[in-house]
Structure 1
Amino acid sequence: MMESRRIRIGELIVAMMLVSIAFMPAVSAMEVEVEAHPVQASGMVMIDEVVTASSDSGFNQDVDFAKLQINPRHSSTQLKPGSSDKITVTVTNKDNKTITLEPGVVPSPYAENIFEESWVTVTPSSKDLEPEEKQEFTIEVNIPEDADIGNYGAEIAFTDDVMQTPYPATYPQYINTMNLFVDVWTPPNIQIQTSYIRDRVRAGDEHDYEIKLKNVADRDIAIDPKISDDNQRYFYDPYGTEGPAFDDDAITIIAPSIVKAGETAVVRVHLEVPDDAKGRYNGALDLNIDDPSIREWDGQIQMDFEVWTQPSGPYTKAFTTRTEGPITIEVSSNDHNYGMWMGAGSQDEKDEASFDLALEGESGKVELNLVKTTYSGTVSLGASDFPPWEVDGAGIYRDAVEVYTETYEAPGAIGDWTLGILPTNTQQFTYLITIGAVE
C-alpha cells in the first residue's frame, strides 16, 4: 500500500511539472526539451530539463573567419629590465581570398603581470595578404629599466576574428594569434644555499638546521625571516584529514637583519618536537629578502617534517633450511639523506643505527655471534643550491646514502626457523640470510 501511494504521488508531481512547462512563455532563441527518466529505487519519476540551442540561435552556424597559418604559434624568452629581443613570425594566407593583416597586442588577463602594449612593436604594421602568400613579421620586445621582475604574457592578434561562444565571454578569444611569453629577471643578488628542509624527527627530540645566504651584490641587503602565514595547516590522507604534527611555535628562527655586501649570513632554524607530536608538518620559512632580484616564492624555504616512532616489536622472517650448514645473517641500515637534492637535514650528530637480532629454531633459541660490522655510503659533491665552485671547504660534501651493516653467524640444522630483527635509529633496513658456508 505504501509503495502504491508513493507511485501515485510521483505521478502527481510529474503531471504538475508537465502542466507548468506547458504554460511556460515562449522562448525566442532557445527551445526546451523535457525527458523523463524513471528511478526504480523509489518508484518516482525525475524530470531532467535539457536545454539545447535552436537552429536560429547562431551558435551552431558556420563561423566565417580568416584562415591563416602562423609559425611559430608560441614564443618564450627571458629578458632583463632594459633589454630587448626580436622574434620573426611567418604568416601564410590559407584562405581563398585576400586578407588584411593588422597585428596588435592583446594583453593576457590571466598572466602574472600585465604586458604593456608599448613594450611591443610589430613590423610591418599592416599587410594585404593574397591567397597562399607569406609574410614575415618582426616582433620587437623592449623591456623598460623599471619593469617588475616576473612573468608576462600577451597575444599578437593578426586579425579581429574572435571565437564565438554560446554565452557572453568575459574576454574575447582571438583566433589568429601568436602567444608571447616573457620572463623578466635579473641575476639574484642573494644566493640561497638551501631551498628545502626535509627530515624525519622523533617526538621529544631537538634538531638544528642552517640556511646560508651569500650576498654577491655591492650593497647590504635586509632580511627578516619569519614563518609563512600561508603554511598548510591540514593534510589529506587515506584515513581522513588531520592537522599538522605540531604548531609553528615549535620552530625558533635565529637570523641577522642584514646580509652585508660580499659576505655570507646564516639563518638558523631550531626545532623542538613536542612529546605528543605525531604525523607530518608542512610549511614554509619566508626569508623576506628586501631585493627585487628575489621573487616571493624564491625567498621561501619549504619545510617538511615527518615525526617518526621507534618500533617496539621486532620484524619477523620465517625460513626453512634443508641442510645442516651454518646460518649467516647480514642486516644493513639503508638511510637516504632527504636533503641531498633540494635542501638539508639536521645539522646535529645522528645516533648510530643498530639491530637487536633473535634466531629461533625447532629446538629453541640459537646464539648469534657478531662476526663483522661495516660502514659504507654514497657521497655527493655540490648537491646544495650553490654550485660546487661557490662552496668552501667541507661544505661541498653531502652524504646521499649511509649504510651500516652487521653480520652474524649461527650453527645450522634442518628445519623451520624464525628470525626477529628490531632496528634502532634507522628508518629502513635490508637483510640477507645465507644457509651454508660463506666463501
Structure 2
Amino acid sequence: MRRRRAVRSAYDRVVVVGAGRAGVAAAEELRRAGFRGEVRVIGDEPGAPYDRPACSKGLLTGHRRPADVRMPVLDGADITWHLGRRAVHLDPDDRVVSTDTGERFRYDGLVIASGARAALPRGWPVGEAGLHTLRTIADAWALRGALRDAQRVVVIGAGLTGCEVASAIRTLARDCVLVDSMPYVLANAVGETVGRMVTREVARDGVQLRLGRRVTGLNRRRRGWLVELDDGDEVLADLVVTTTGERPDVDWLDGTGIDISDGVRCDESLRVLGVEGVVAAGTVARWPNLRYSHRPRRCGHWIAALEQGRAAAHTLLAGEREIPPVTLVPRFWSDQYGLRVQVCGELPSYAEVMVTEMRPGRRDAARAGVLVGYHDEGRLVGLVAVNAPHAFTSITRSMLAAPVTLAAPAPVAVTATAPVPAPAVGTARPAARRLAEAS
C-alpha cells in the first residue's frame, strides 16, 4: 500500500462537535486527506456512533438491535472519542469548546456538526409516561419496549419519520392513528403528486388518518392519553408518538456572534461566517447550495450529512485558500407500507411536474410504480420514484454525472426616483402534466 502523504495544515488540533453521520464523516476524511494532528470528536450520547435513520425502522419492529446499527468507523483513523459529553459553550476568540462535564477542549480547527433536537409544541407534557419523541437510539429502544403492551398508538406528524413509525406500528399489528395538518402525507418530502398517491396506500394499510387536523390538547388519563383535535374530535390511545419536526442544536453557540437564526450560517464552501477556522456540516449547517440557489438552506438527510462532513474537512484543511463550493444533490429513500420511496434533487413548487406510470391504467399507481420528474427551464432538478428502483437509479446517475451549472445570483433591487418600467411577465408553466406511457 502506498503511504498517504501528510497534508500541510495550519492546524495541530481539530475538534468535531457531534458524533452523528456528518461529524464522523468529517473526522474520517481528515485522516484520509493526510492530516496528522489531533482529531477529537465530542458526542452527547454515551454510546458509539450509529445510523440515526434506523431509529424509525428496524429498531421499532425488533428486526434490529442497537448493536446492529452502529456506524462503521475508518480502521486505524486515530480518532479520540469523548462521548457522553454535551457542548455548552464556544469561545471563538480563545478557541475553546466547553462541555457539561466541565471539560475544556482547545482547538485550532473546529467542525460544528451538532445536528438537531426534537421540537415539541410549547406546553406539551414532556416527560410523561407514554408520550414519546423519536430522535435518538435511546428514544427508539424505549418506544420499542412500550409498543409491546400497547394496542392503539397516535402518531403526530405525517412526515418521513412519522410515516415510517406508523408503518412499523402496523407491522406489529397495532392500531395506529396518524395526525397531520396537511391534507396528505409526506408533504415536504415528496411533494403533492406522490404524497396523495402514498396517502391512499397508507389508508389501505389500515392506518386511521386524521389529515388536515391540528392537535389542540394532550391529556394524560389513568390508562393512556386523550388527544384533542381542532375539529372537536377526540382520540384515545395507549401511546402518543410525536414527530412534529426538529430544530438545530445551536444553543451552545449563543453569544459567539455566529448567525444561528436557523442553524449555523455558512458560505458556499461550509465555512462558518464571522469566525476563523470553523466549518459546519449536517443538519445544523445552513449554506447556499449553488447548484440550485444562492439562498442559504439546511439539508437534513443522511447522504447529505455524509457528503457535507467530507467536504467540510477539506474546506477546513484548505484554510483561507479558494476551494470549490459544496454543490451536493440531496437524495434519500424510505421503505414503508410495501412501497420503496426514493427522492433525488429538489422539488420546487414552481417546477413543471411530469408523471410517468410504469403500468398505466392501474388504480394503485404508487404500488404499480411511478416516476415524477420536476423540471425547471427544461432541466430535470428533482425526481421522485415509488416502486421504480431501477428507473430511479438510472436517471439519478445521469443527474449526478451532469455538469454543475451554478445558479445565477438573485437580482439586486434598485431604488430609483424616476418610474421604472415593469418587467415582462413570463408565461406560467403548467402545475402538472401526466404522461400515459411506461418507462
The two structures have a TM-score, normalised by structure 2, of 0.20
* Structure possessing the higher radius of gyration over alpha carbons: 1
Q: Whose strand fraction is larger, Structure 1's or Structure 2's?
A: 1
Q: Which has the higher contact order (CA 8 A, sep 6+)?
A: 2
Q: Name the structure with the higher helix share.
A: 2
TM-score, normalising length: structure 1: 0.20
